[in-house]
Amino acid sequence: MFIVDVGILQEIRSSGITRPTVRSGTKQPSFLELFHSTRLWAGLDLPQNTSKRINLQGAYLINYDFTDRVTVVTGAGGGIGEEIARMILASGGAVIMLDVKPEPLDLPGESVNRLYGQGDLTNEEYVTKVINEGAKRFGRIDYLANVAGVLWFDKDVSLLEMDMDVWDEVFAINLKSMVHTARAAVPHMKEAGFGAMVHFSTIQCLRGDLAPQDAYSTSKAGVGALSRSLAMQLAAQGIRSNAIFPGPAQTPMQERWDTPEKVAAVASQIPLGRVGSTRDLANAALFLLSENASYITGVDLVVDGGLLLR
């Protein structure tokens, strides 16, 4: 096990030593090479079996490099989608951002590296227009992150009682919008003979609930099926597709956790003892998009702090 002392890591950060970088889309180092380069970066002349302790939450031993790569991100106006867009922009990539919400402020990088299209993701014409405009501006599309979704606690209830217009609207946003983005982005990936997609579902579709949001959980169950189907259809063309199943995370979707006490109550049910963050989910997405995951496709990745273990 390779664990670094917090004090050592803080010293390293303040010294200005550059961290090992993983370039997306290029030949990746082996695990052994990455391990040794990380040890060297950390300034540790230690036997491989030496163990010192650190809480790695928030520590970054690898930087992704998305230079010359173009990513479509839905739900980019806030929450997990915004976090993914920010991380890719900060890593040198270009991002085509789609959301019904306005463009976030203070995005990193140069404005020339992003295109923001505000609109309704259930409108196929709008989705196709923005993605094609981005492909024309940036010259390619490499990645797609389908993040946008809705969870309406007030209207989305048991399927035995809910208004079916609400059911249809939730499905249009949570599932059909992903069909629109895939149909618009995949032709550009096929042209390049390369690509990767990640689609956001939820662990709620893997379990029942006495107070359900049935349209949300059922539509999100479809996300996994969509992802696996795309993975099988496109594997021979060098295009990967994976799904992420988040557990409890502090995002705008969970505004109801509006006090430290409420957050602590949720965290007490999670084996890792904390609620997830947008960065936790964005980290998982960037890994699956990057070439570090080049042999991973058709996977449903649960990111829930161990909640499903209970």
**pLDDT per residue as tens digits for the range 194-248:** 999 999 999 999 998 888 999 999 999 999 999 999 999 999 999 999 999 999 9
Domain final residue, candidates 65, 82, 115: 65
Q: In 172-259, where does DSSP find H-type helix?
A: 177-192, 214-234
Which DSSP string corresponds to 122-163? Answer: T-HHHHHHHHHHHHHHHS---EEEE------TTT---TTTS-
Query: What confidence score (pLDDT) does residue 25 get?
Result: 54
Of the candidates 302, 272, 297, 307, the residue with the CA atom closest to the CA atom of residue 284: 302
Residue at token pair 């030593």: 17
Q: Are residues 7 and 152 in the same domain?
A: no
**Domain interval for residue 105:** 66-309
**pLDDT per residue as tens digits for the range 66-104:** 999 999 999 999 999 999 999 999 999 999 999 999 999
57 Cβ contact partners less than 8 Å away, ≥ 6 residues apart: 274
User: Which one of the listed residues 64, 116, 143, 216 is annotated catalytic?
Assistant: 216
Q: Are residues 54 and 103 in the same domain?
A: no
Q: Are residues 55 and 74 in the same domain?
A: no
Q: Are residues 19 and 152 in the same domain?
A: no
Query: Cα(45)–Cα(298) distance, rounded to whole angstroms?
Result: 40
233 Cβ contact partners less than 8 Å away, ≥ 6 residues apart: none
Domain final residue, candidates 65, 99, 120: 65
pTM, two decimal places: 0.81
Respond yes or no: is residue 143 known to be catalytic. Answer: no
Domain final residue, candidates 34, 65, 96: 65
User: In the chain, how many domains are there?
Assistant: 2
Instruction: Assess whether pLDDT exceeds 80 at residue 12.
Output: no
The answer to whether 253 touches 151, Cβ cutoff 8 Å, is: yes
